[in-house]
Amino acid sequence: MRRAFYEVSLALFALGLGLGPSPSPSPAVGPRPAASAGAVPWPWEPGGIDYHATPFQAVPYPVETSPDPSIPTGQWLLLQPGRQGIAYVAGGKTTVVSPPQPAKLVEGTAPVHTLVVQGHTYQYDRVMTMMTTAYNGSMAMNGPWGAVSSWDGQPLRYGDVAVDPRVIPLGTYLYIDGYGPARAVDTGSAIFGDHIDLFLPEPTWQIALYGIQFHKVYILTQRPPDFSG
């Protein structure tokens, strides 16, 4: 009896120190097999004891399209993204509780014209005769902030022009007679209306010789193939 009591006490002491038999290792955690493979589904999954089909359904949104003669043919513009609605289904009856918001698109209908100059093809949708002047990178013509574009803050180079954004949006690609392919990237306090200022990396005396000229400005529908700006 005394020996049995001693052995039991020793076993309890060993357990208290963590020296007893190690517990069985936990089973490895891995991907749970699908219910179709014979596994019992979770209670909230389809087929589970606590599964309830949701009474709400999504209502697809319509798409409304309208023509726009100011956009080149083949181009689309998203004015308003669509949003799905929500319907409540109960007793065989469907009730829309949140109507869908239609997506609104405009489809360009402006004809696209082609201009070929020295083997290069340019596509444009309109052309304007504009007053053109020239400027260089001097502080007198650019102010203390230097010769950088208003579009992306990058240094100006040949092909960059200043425009009135209300007439030609910044970022628009152009072809200008007597100048070549260009892009509207800059603005100026004296540039408004049908006036465009051409950047020329030339001395100021050559800029003065340019004076005021009138040229055709083609509004291109895509990046010119020979434009390096």
pLDDT of residue 89 exceeding 90:
no
Work out the pLDDT band at 37, boundaries 50, 70, 90: low
- What pLDDT score does 125 carry? 87
Q: What is the pLDDT of residue 163?
A: 96
Lowest mean pLDDT among 8-17, 82-91, 177-186: 8-17
Q: So what's the architecture of 54-110 in CATH?
A: Single Sheet (2.20)
| CA dist., res. 125 & res. 111, Å (int) | 6
Q: Tell me: pLDDT of 35 over 70.
A: no
Of 124, 99, 109, nearest to 66 by C-alpha is: 109
- In tens, the pLDDT along 158-206 reads 999 999 999 999 999 999 999 999 999 999 888 999 999 999 999 989 9
Q: Report the percent of the chain where pLDDT is more than 70.
A: 80
pLDDT at 195: 96
> Which percentage of the chain shows pLDDT scores above 90?
41
Asked if residue 33 has pLDDT above 50, the reply is no
pLDDT, mean of residues 6-20: 46
Cα→Cα distances 217→5, 44, 160, 168, 184, Å: 108, 66, 14, 10, 11
Q: What amino acid is encoded at 92 in this protein?
A: G
Predicted pLDDT at 229: 62
State mean pLDDT over 220-226: 85
What is the widest separation between alpha-carbon atoms in the chain? 122
On whether the CB atoms of residues 181 and 226 are closer than 8 A, the answer is yes
CA pair distance 45, 161, nearest whole angstrom: 63
Q: What is the mean pLDDT of residues 31-48?
A: 64
CATH topology of domain 113-220: Barwin-like endoglucanases (2.40.40)
- Over 70: is that where the pLDDT of 38 sits? no
Domain ranges of the chain: 54-110, 113-220
**196-221 pLDDT, tens digit each:** 999 999 998 999 999 999 999 999 98
